[in-house]
Structure 1
Amino acid sequence: MDTKSKNTLRNSGVIVIKSEHLLRNTGVKLIAFILAVLLLSTGIFVLEQTATTKMEGFGISETWDEQDYLKSSSLRSEVYSVYHDLFALADTYRSEDYIRSGALLDEDAVIEEYKLSLLSEDRSRFGLWEEELGDVNSYYYSERSDSTVPKTVIDVINSDAFMERHGKEIEKYREDQIQKQLQNYANTLNNLENAQKNFGLKWYIERDGQKKTSGEGVTPEALMQSKVYLENNKGKINASQEVRNYDYGGNGNTDNRIVMAFDDQKIDTMAQIYSQDRADAVLAVQVFFVCGLLSLICLVVACIGAGRRETDNDIHLLAIDRMYWDLHLIILTWVEGMLIAAGVACIMYRLPAYMSAILLIFAVALAYNYVLSLVRVVKAHRFMDRFGTVVLCKKCGRLIKRFCRSIRDFYRNVIKGRSLVMLLCAAIIIIAIVGMLIIALPPIGIILLGVALWFGAKRAKSLDQTIKGVERIYEGDTGYKIEVEGHGPVEEMAKNINNINEGLSTAVRDAVEKELKSERLKTELITNVSHDIRTPLTSIITYIDLLKKEDIDEESRERYIGVLEQKAARLKALTDDLFEAAKASTGNMEVHWDTVNVEALVNQGMGELEDKIEDSGLQFIVSRPQEKVMVHADGRLLWRVIENLLSNVLKYALPGSRVYMTIDRDLFTDRGVFIIKNISADPLNIPAEELLERFKRGDDTRHSEGSGLGLAIAKDLTELQNGQFDLTIDGDLFKATVYLELVADDDSVMAEEAGEAEAEEKGE
C-alpha cells in the first residue's frame, strides 16, 4: 500500500470518527428528530389536503390506477348505481299509486314479520297478553289440562284471539311498511335527479307495452349513440365498451326493457376533472414519498445517536424508557387513535387546516419518540427487561409458585405428620356424613352417631388425663407421670410430656449440681486468691518491720531489701496475671488479626526461655511440619498463649523428663494445631476442666511460684482468636492442644513474602 492510499484510509477513519462523534451531539440529534417529524407530517398533510380539499369529486385511490376516466372504476360504479335505481323503479316500485295500493306487500309476510317483531321484544311487550301467556320467563309455560288453552308463545300468536286483539296493530304495521316503501321510492327518484344533474342522465323504461322516459323525445336508439350507455332488454345486457364487462348481479334479470345513457358533454367535463384530480393525486403521492424517505433518513440519524453522549460510550436511558415498551405501545396506539379521530373531525367539520396540521405533527412526534425509546432500550440490552408482558408472566409465575409453595407448606406444617389435625379434619367430615345420613337414612345415621360418640368420649378421656397431668407438672410435681392407654395422637402427646418432664427433672438436678459446684469453685477461688496475695504481702510486712530496727547491719539490710523486691515483683506479677485473666475472660481485649507462622513463634519462645529450659534439665522434642503452618491470629496474643504453656511446663514438669511439642495441620477441620505434652512432677488427681479454673494449680501444696492463672489465660486468649483450647490429663501425663484457623495457601505466601520484604528493609 502506497503513501497516498494510507493517507486516504487514515483520512477516511478520521472522518468516520468525527461523523460518529457529531451524531452523538445533542443539537444534531434534536435537529434530526425535528426534521424527521416535520418532513413526514408535511408529506401526510399534503396528501390529506389534496384528497379532501383540492380534488373535485374523485379520490386518490380512484384516480391512481387508471388514467382514462371512461375506463375508471368510478364511472362503472356510477353506471351501476343509476342502473340499480332504474331497475328498482321499473321492476319493483313502478309508481306511487302502485305502492299505496299495497301491491308490494305480502299480507301473510306482514303478519309473520309483526309476530317476529313481538318475539324479539322484551318482557314488557309480552305484558299486553299476560292472561294468555301466564309466566313469560321463556317460550314455554305451565301445562294445563285444558287443551284449548295455548301453552307456548307460538301457539298464542297463531291463535284467532291474538289476531282479533292485535288487528289494529297489524294494520298499523302494514301502513308503516308502505311508508317505508314510499320513502325508498322517493330516494330512488332523488338519486336519478342527481344523476341527471351531474351526468346528464337520460333513461327509457318499457314495461308491458307501456313506456316511461326521463323526458320528451328520448328513444332507445338515441340513447345508445352516447359514449356511455347501458341497455337491459329482458335480461340481455348491451352496453358501451367502457361499462360492458361489469357484473350487474341479479339486477340483470327482468322482463322489462331498460335503457340509460349519460350526456357526452357531461362525460367530457368529468373526464377533464378526473385528469386534473389524477395529476394532483400523483403530485401529492410523490411529495409524500419524497418527504417520507427524507424523514426516514433523519430518523435513522437520530437512532444512531440515540442514547449516546459525546462524553462517553455508555447508553443513557431517559425517564420515558423506564416504561415497559409494550405498555408504551398500547398507550401510544390509544393516543394516536384519539388524534386520528380528532383529525378526521377537523376534516368533516371543515375546521381550519392548521388544526389538523398541529394534530398531525403531534401524532408523528409521539410515534417517532416511541421508535427512539425502543432503540435506546435495545441498545442498552434491556429489551426483555422492559417487555411488560414477559415481566407480568414472570410475576404471575412467581405468584403461582408462591401460592403452590404456601399450599405445600400448609400441608407439610399443618397436616402432614400431625395426626391430631388429620383427626380433627376426619371428625368434621364424619360429622357431615352422619348429618346427611340422619336425614337420608335415619337408622344407619343414628348407629353411626352412637359409634362416633363412643369413640369421641374415649378420645376425650385421654385428652382430659393429659390436661390434668400437664397441670400437675406445671404446679411442680415433676415426679408425676401421665397414664397412657392405647395408641393415638393424644397418647403420643402424653408420652412426649412424660419424656419432657423426665428430661426437665434431670436438667434441674444437673443445674443444682452445677450450681453447687460453681459455689464450691467460687469458694476455692476466693481462698486461693487470698492465699496467693497474702503470702508475699505478709513477707513484705515482716521485712519492713525488720528494716525498722536500727540495730541491723548493712548486709542484713541489703538482704531484706532484696527479699522485699522479690516479693513485690511476685505480687505485681500476680496482680498483672489477675488483670489479664479478667480482660481475657470478658473478651475486653483488642485483637489485631494477622497471618502468623506457628513454628516461628514456638522457636522464638524457646529462644527467649533458653536459660530456664537449660536450668530445668528438661529435654524438648519438637515435631515440625513439612509445610509451614500459617494461621489467622494475633501474633502478640498467640505468643502469650505459647509462653504460658512453656512456663507451665517449666514449673510443673518432672525434672529430667521429656517434653513433646507438635506443630501440624488438621486436614479434617482445616485448622492449625499446636500440641505440648509432659509428665507432671506432682500427681494430677483433678479433672482437666477444674485445672482450667482460675487460681487452680496441680500443686495442691502451692509451694511453686505459679499463680494458677496461666492455663485459664491461655484458654481465653485462644478463644478470643476464634480458636479452641483443649486440655487432657491421663495419670501424670499433661497434654494441651491449641487449634487455630489456617490461612489459605495464596494468602500465606503473600504474607510470607511481605514478612521477608519487611525483614530485608529492616536489614538495609
Structure 2
Amino acid sequence: MDTRWKNFNENMAVRTLAFALCVLLFAAALMGSIATVLRIDKAGRSFTLEEIFSTTNYLDSSDMQEEFNQDAQLLRQLIGEYKSEANIQSGNLLMDRDSELDTAIATLYSDGVYYYGDKKLTANPVNVSYDVFAEDGRFKPVMIIEGTPYLIKDYVNEEEYPDYDNMGREEARSFAREYVNYYLDTGNDQLREAFIAANQSQVEEIKTILIKDQLRSFSNLKDRLNEQKGMLYFVSDGVNSYTNMKKTALTGKDGATPDVKAFEKNPAYMIYADGKLKKVPSATAKASYLGDWDSNLENRFFTLYNDNLEVYLAFDESFIKEKQIAYRDTSDILGLAPMVAGCAIGTLILFLYLAVTTGRRDDQGQRKLYGLDGIWTELQVGGIFAAMGLGLWVAMIALGVWGYWTASARQISSLELGLFFMAWSILAAIGLWFTLSCIRLLKARQFWKNTLIYKLWNAIVWKLCRKVWQGAVSIYEGSSLMKKVVLIALAVCLLSATVFLAPVVLLAILALAPKWVQKFEGIKQGVEEVKNGNLSYKIPVEGQGELDRLAGSINQISAASSTAVQNELKNQRMKADLISNVSHDLKTPLTSMVTYIDLLKSEGLDSSDAPEYLRILDEKTERLRHLTEDLFEAAKASSGAMPVQLEKVELLSLINQGLGELDQRIRASGLEFIIHAEQEKYYVLADGQLLWRVVENLLGNVLKYALENSRVYIDVKEVGANSQKAASLITLEIKNISREPLNISADELMERFKRGDESRTTEGSGLGLAIAKDLVKLQNGWFEVFIDGDLFKAQVLLSKYQETGAKTE
C-alpha cells in the first residue's frame, strides 16, 4: 500500500495535473470573488458578512443608518456652517484664524505669490529687520516691522521669553536674527497686520474668490439635497429655513414648521428639536453593532448651541421600496459563495499536496531538485511577489473595466472573461512554481546557499577573509619560537612607548614571566623523569599556550611509549604461548601416531589389536588435519585476505540448519537449546558461507565446553542504531554454563589457542572464537564475549539488510 501511494505521489502526470488544477481553481476563486464584490456593490449592499447573509430588511441595516448619517451631516453643514447667502457674502466664514483666508494669507507671505486658476497674485514685501535695546540693565531682542520696533515675545502665550535676564548684547542680537529669519510668520499679529496693510488689494481679491467658492458650494449643497428622490427634509435655525417639502405639508406661522404627524407617517424619519433627537429606526434598536450612532448624531446637532435649531429628515415609501429591492436581490451573490469557497478549499488542498510531495527523497536519500531551482533565491522570491503584485494590478483593472470605480456598469463580454482568466492563470502558475521551488530548496537545506548574497560572500568575501585568517594563524602557529618572541617583544616595545601603557606592560611582565618560567621548569623536570624510565609521569598542563602544547606533546609521547612497551610485553607473552600451545597441540597427536605405528610394526597387521590401532591413527590424523586447517583459516581471517560477498542472509534459518546438522552431538550431550526471537525472519547483510562458519564455530564451542544436561539460550533480536543515518542492527546472543570454571578474562579467552580448560584436555584447538571474531569483522560486524562466573555469552552484531526503496522521508 505504501509503495503504491509513493508511486502515485511521484507520478509526474499526477503532479502535473494537480499543479494545473491548483492554478485553474485559484483563478476561478479569484474571478468569483471579484464577481461577488461587483454584485454586492451594484446591489447597494454592505460588505460585512452579517449584512450579506443575515440582514434582508433595508430598514434594519447599517446602510439605512449610514443614509441618515450622511444626509444629517449635509443638513448640519447647510444650517450650521453656511447659514445663508448673506452670511457667506458678509465674509463671516473667513473671520476665523484657521479659515481659508488665513491659510491663503500665509501662503501669499511665505511663497510671495498666490495662484487661483490661471491668475497669479504677487505679494508686496514687508520691511522686517531686528535689533537689541537695553532696559533696566537687560538686553532685549526686538523685531522691526516697517520701522516700528516690537519686543519679541512668545506670541502663543503673549509673554516675554524667560531667558532675557541672562542675555548679553550679542546673544540677544543672535536670538533676534534667528527668530526673524527662521520663525517669524503671519502667526505673529504685528506682522500679519502689517502684511495685510501692505497687500490690501490682494487680500480683498482673495476674499472675493473664496466667497465665490463658498457660494458655489452652498448652492451645490442645496441642489444635492433637493435632487434626492424620496428624501424629505426641513431645517431651520430660527432665522433661516430650508426645505424640499411642499407648502401644503408645512404648518405654523407662515408655514415655517412641518406637520409632525404627517412627517412621522414615513417608514424612516428623524426629528431634532429642543435639543433632543428622535429617530426611527434607531441605530441601537435595529443595528446594535453600530454603537452610539444616534447619541453621536444628537451631540453633533447640539454643539451648534442654537436653541431654535430644528432638523427634520424623512425617507418615504418609494425611497425605502427602491432600496429594499436592490438590497434583497442578492440570491445570485449567495449562489456564487459556495462555488468560490469550493474553489478556494480545492486550491488550498492541492497546494498542500504539492508542498508535501515536492522535493521528496530519491532512492539514494537525496532531495529531488529541478534545473530551474538553481535560479537565485532572491529572483524566486521576487518572482513570487511580482506575480502577486501583477495579479492584484490585473484585478484592479478588471474592477475598473467592469465599472466598480464608477457609477455606471456594463455587460461583461466573454472575451474579457477569457483574457482576465488567462492572465490570472499564468500569474498563478508562475507564483506557484516559484513557491514550490522555494519549498524544495528549504527541504534540501539549500534556500540560503542558493542566494546570490551567499554565493558572492562565499566566493569573494569569505574566501578572502579565510585566506587572511589562515595566513595570520600560519604566521603565528607555524613560526618558530624566536619569531614569536620577536613579535611579542615588538608589541611590548610599542605599548611601553606610551606613558599611560608603560606601567600596564610592566605589571603584565611581572605577572606572566614567573608563570612562563615555572612552566619551563615543569617541562624540564618531566623530560628528566621520562629519560630515567618513569613513563607514567605527567607534566601539568594548564592552558593552550606554546609551553602548554609542548608539555602536552611530551605527555603524549610518554603515554605512547608506555602503551608500546605494554603491547610489546603482551606480544612476547602471546608468542611464547603460541609456540607452547602449537607445540603441545601438534606434539600430542604426533606422539600418539608414532606410538601406534611402532605397535603395528612390532605386532604386525595380523594382530587382533591392529584395527583399533588404525582407528586411533585415523582419529589422530584427522585431528591433526583439523588443527592445520584451523591454523590456515585463522591466518587468512586475521589478514583479511579471505574473499567476502555481502548479500541478504536469513539468520534464523542458518541457526536452525546448524542445530539440525549437530543434532546427534546435541542429543549425546544432553543440552537443551532454547531460541528466543520476536520475529519469524531476520535478514542480515552478510556473507552466507562466512556467517555459517561463525555459527558452526559458536555451536561447536558450546558442545565442547558447555555443562552436560544444561540449557543453552539463543536470542535473536533487532536493536536501534546509534546514528540516525545508520541502519538497524541484528544481534545474536548464545549463552551457556561452562563445564569447567572460567578463571580467565574474556579478552584472554579471545586470544588464539586459549581454552576455557587450562589443562587442555578437550579436543578443541582454541582457535574457534578467534576465527569467529575475525570472520564477523570481515562482514562489517562486531563480536564480543562476556563472562560472569561460569556463565559464558557470545554476542554477534550484524547490519540489518535494507530492502531497495525502503527509505522513507
Pairwise TM-score range, normalised by the shorter structure:
0.3 to 0.5
TM-score normalised by length of structure 2:
0.38
Q: Of Structure 1 and Structure 2, which has the larger fraction of its residues in strand?
A: 2
Provide the TM-score with structure 1 as the length reference. Answer: 0.41
Q: For the pair shown, which has the larger CA radius of gyration, 1 or 2? A: 1
Structure in which a larger fraction of residues adopt helix? 1
